[in-house]
Amino acid sequence: MKKLKKSLVLILVLIVTTMAAGCGGSQSSSEKKSDSSTKQEKAVTLTVSAAASLKDSMNEIKQLYAKDHPNVTITYNFGASGTLQQQIEQGAPADIFMSAATKQMDALKGKNLLVNDTITNLLKNDVVLIVPKNSSSNVKSFNDLASDKVKKVALGEVKSVPVGQYSQEILTNLKIMDKVQPKAIYGKDVKEVLTWVETGNVDAGIVYKTDALVSKKVNIVATAPENSHKAVVYPTAVVKASKNPTQAKDFLKFLSSDKAKAVFQKYGFKLGK
């Protein structure tokens, strides 16, 4: 009888020990999965330096991207492409550069500051002439800017603002730059040019079509002929100094997705090639 009791006790001890070991192993596996998941979903912040004309579309795209990538925070730095170029050259933190012209992208590429195989011509745009919504002026074309009746014209600053460079090309090719220049007021980016027209501080302004379309305070009176200026191309690239190149490349890939393309087209952009 005593031997039987001892045997039963030993069996119970073995069962309890086995169960404990099994639970311990299961817990360890669960912890490993948890650790692996944590590593996969490590919080990352991407800084995107983008041309001011991309502000509305990119803010919407940010929301779409966040739904599938909750661990990635997108921070935008909007401004004139030339200014953003200089910031990157001076070492300002940036993971992605989105320019409103190839000039600034080419400059950074020439200084070996970009991941070259990520450079893509993402979008295209049109350049338009706008006037205040309730304007009584007779501005109907770019040539009308040379009229004595037009006193102030808002343009982008030529040195650092691509739309200012396109504007100069257009007015020069139309042979009216010498008449428009004395009455030109230069904005630090395309959004400032748009604001001056919206508030009626100028008689007319030259902006991108996409900026004009989102405003209820201006009218588009003319679109610049394609042969009057270089094609308006928006190249994008990962900055070589990015601390999160993998996530940056993933975000650029998303910008070429059907979801992102639909947003860009909604705001009036044309898709690049």
pLDDT in tens, 224-235: 988 999 999 999
DSSP the chain: -HHHHHHHHHHHHHHHHHHHHHHHHHHHHHHHHHHHHHHHT--EEEEEEEEGGGHHHHHHHHHHHHHH-TTEEEEEEEE-HHHHHHHHHTT---SEEE-SSHHHHHHHHHTT-B-GGG-EEEEEE-EEEEEETT--S---SGGGGGSTT---EEEE-TTT-HHHHHHHHHHHHTT-HHHHGGGEEEESSHHHHHHHHHTTSSSEEEEEHHHHHT-SSEEEEEE--GGGS--EEEEEEEBTT-S-HHHHHHHHHHHTSHHHHHHHHHTTPEE--
Residue indicated by tokens 């692996």 = 36
Same domain, 205 and 217: yes
Residue 27, CB half-sphere, CA atoms under 13 Å: how many?
6
CA atoms within 13 A on the CB side of 59: 7
| Same domain membership, residue 208 and residue 157 | yes
Q: Judge if 142 and 193 occupy the same domain.
A: yes
Q: Give pLDDT tens digits for 54-113.
A: 999 999 999 999 999 999 999 999 999 999 999 999 999 999 999 999 999 999 999 999
Average pLDDT, the chain: 89
Whether 33 is covered by a domain: the verdict is no
Q: Is residue 16 part of a domain?
A: no
**Residue 192 covered by a domain:** yes
Joined tokens for residue 102: 């190839």
Q: Residue 101 falls within a domain, yes or no?
A: yes
| CA separation for the pair 46, 248 (Å, rounded) | 7
Q: Which residue has the higher pLDDT, 19 or 187?
A: 187
Question: In terms of domains, do 192 and 176 share one?
Answer: yes
Q: Is the same domain home to 114 and 237?
A: yes
In a domain, 10, yes or no: no
Is 241 inside a domain boundary?
yes
Domain around 91:
44-124+233-271
At 83, which CATH number?
Answer: 3.40.190.10
Quote the tokens at residue 36: 């692996």
Residue 194: which pLDDT band, with cuts at 50, 70 and 90?
very high
The predicted pLDDT at position 12 comes to: 46
pLDDT at residue 173, as a whole number? 98
Q: Is the pLDDT of residue 36 over 80?
A: no
Confidence (pLDDT) at 136: 87
On whether residue 4 sits in a domain, the answer given is: no
Counting the structural domains of the chain, the total is: 2
Task: Say whether pLDDT at 259 is over 60.
Answer: yes
Residue 11 has pLDDT above 60, yes or no: no
Cα–Cα–Cα angle for 269, 272, 273, rounded to 5 degrees = 160
Task: For residues 82 and 221, give the distance between their C-alpha atoms in angstroms, rounded to a whole number.
Answer: 28
| 192 and 141 housed in the same domain | yes
Residues 139 and 256 in one domain: no
Annotated ligand binding at 53? The verdict is yes
Same domain, 197 and 80: no
54 lies in the same domain as 115: yes
Domain shared by 240 and 253, yes or no: yes
Other Cβ atoms within 10 Å of 148 Cβ, number: 7
**pLDDT exceeds cutoff 90 at 273:** no
Q: Does residue 169 form part of some domain?
A: yes
Pair 52, 96 in one domain: yes
Q: Please indicate if the annotation marks 65 as binding a ligand.
A: no
Give the pTM.
Answer: 0.82
Please, what sign has the CA dihedral across residues 273, 128, 96, 40? negative
Characterize the bridge pairing of strands 153-156 and 204-208.
parallel
Q: Are residues 134 and 197 in the same domain?
A: yes
Any idea how long the chain is? 273
- Residue 208 marked as a ligand binder: yes
